Amino acid sequence: MHQTDIRRMNIHASLLENKLKGKKSFAVLIDPDSVNSASLDSLISLCVSAKADYIFVGGSLLLSNHLDEVVQQIKARSRIPVVLFPGSPSQVSKYADALLYLSLISGRNPELLIGQHVVSAPFVKSSGLEIISTGYIVVDGGAPTTVSYISNAAPVPADKNDIAVCTAMAGEMLGMKLIYLDAGSGAKNPIAEEMIHAVSQNVDIPLIVGGGITDAEKAYLNCQAGADVIVIGNAIEKDSSLIEEVSRAIHSYPLARL
């Protein structure tokens, strides 16, 4: 393996290591459409002082054209790894550390399962980013979200734990490195703990959970249910003081006894 490939395996390797230790992580999701340079600066400071583990950058729409600037500003002001969480193949910035290479395995829209990947593959590969294959499972969050509309694919019904479990198992056996259970940004109902628990009991790869989480208690309960990484975007846009509170709760989760 080339030296560069080893260096670029950092984020996936850290997710695996944390899972082994039972260390739960907090990812702050920043939508480039929702920040300007000043508000981004203050968000970055809060992430640094709260010791957020990752900053995810992405949005379902990305109307603005300043993804590179946003990522560069975060990299210039912090050492927190920046992970792209792209809503479309155009959301690639070589300045980030890694990219969640999402396949919408809960849907049956071939474009989001493989079509867009084929078209963007040379471009994504040449970005030099650490590419992390991610089984993306969208769960009904109680109201249509941007992701459910844009994806043109039915989400997993919120109470169908078996469907979520089988989808995650299939993703794992197809070789995906992460599972991301998402109720969609600003979801009315976040993913139920029962579903998180069922999925986490049936796959060994790290489990990311997000969508509609608005407080520290819910974040902690999700960790208890088996989530490895908690992602919050919308609620932080409304009240950035949540970063400190949620980070403290997630990091208070006891490590596994090895």
Q: How many CB atoms are located within 10 Å of the residue 245 CB?
A: 15
Please give the helix or strand (H or E) that residue 101 lies within, else none: strand 98-104
How far is Cα of residue 160 from the mean position of the Cα atoms in its chain? 22
Work out how close the CB of 43 gets to ligand 1GP at its nearest, in angstroms, rounded to a whole number.
14
DSSP string, 139-165: B--SS--HHHHHHTSPPBPTT-HHHHH
Distance separating alpha carbons of residues 19 and 128, to the nearest angstrom: 25
Interface pattern 54-93 for ligand 1GP (x via CB under 6 A): ----------------------------------------
Q: Do 185 and 147 meet the contact criterion of CB atoms below 8 Å apart?
A: yes
Look at residue 102 and give its three-state secondary structure.
Answer: strand
**Of 32, 186, 206, 226, which lies in the binding site for ligand 1GP, with binding defined by CB under 6 A?**
186
Structure-token match 């957020």, residue found:
52
Cβ-based nearer residue to ligand 1GP, 165 or 231: 231
Cβ-based nearer residue to ligand 1GP, 81 or 233: 233
Cβ-based nearer residue to ligand 1GP, 131 or 231: 231
**Cβ neighbours of residue 227 closer than 8 Å, sequence gap 6 or more:** 24, 181, 196, 200, 207, 208, 209
Contact between 187 and ligand 1GP (CB under 6 A)? Answer: yes
Cβ-based nearer residue to ligand 1GP, 81 or 86: 86
- Restricted to residues 126-185, the positions that interact with ligand 1GP (CB under 6 A) are 182, 184-185
Which residue is at the shortest CB distance from ligand 1GP? 210
- Restricted to residues 201-240, the positions that interact with ligand 1GP (CB under 6 A) are 210-213, 231-235
Q: Do 25 and 55 meet the contact criterion of CB atoms below 8 Å apart?
A: no
Cβ-based nearer residue to ligand 1GP, 8 or 211: 211
Work out how close the CB of 6 gets to ligand 1GP at its nearest, in angstroms, rounded to a whole number.
30
Distance separating alpha carbons of residues 63 and 223, to the nearest angstrom: 33
Binding residues with ligand 1GP: total (CB under 6 A): 15
Work out how close the CB of 215 gets to ligand 1GP at its nearest, in angstroms, rounded to a whole number.
11
Cβ-based nearer residue to ligand 1GP, 30 or 129: 30
Q: Do 129 and 92 meet the contact criterion of CB atoms below 8 Å apart?
A: yes
Q: Which stretches of 78-145 are DSSP H helices?
A: 110, 116-126
Backbone angles phi, psi at 255, to 5 degrees: -70, 155
Interface pattern 7-46 for ligand 1GP (x via CB under 6 A): ----------------------x-----------------
Work out how close the CB of 8 gets to ligand 1GP at its nearest, in angstroms, rounded to a whole number.
24
Q: Which residues bind ligand 1GP (CB under 6 A)?
A: 29, 182, 184-187, 210-213, 231-235
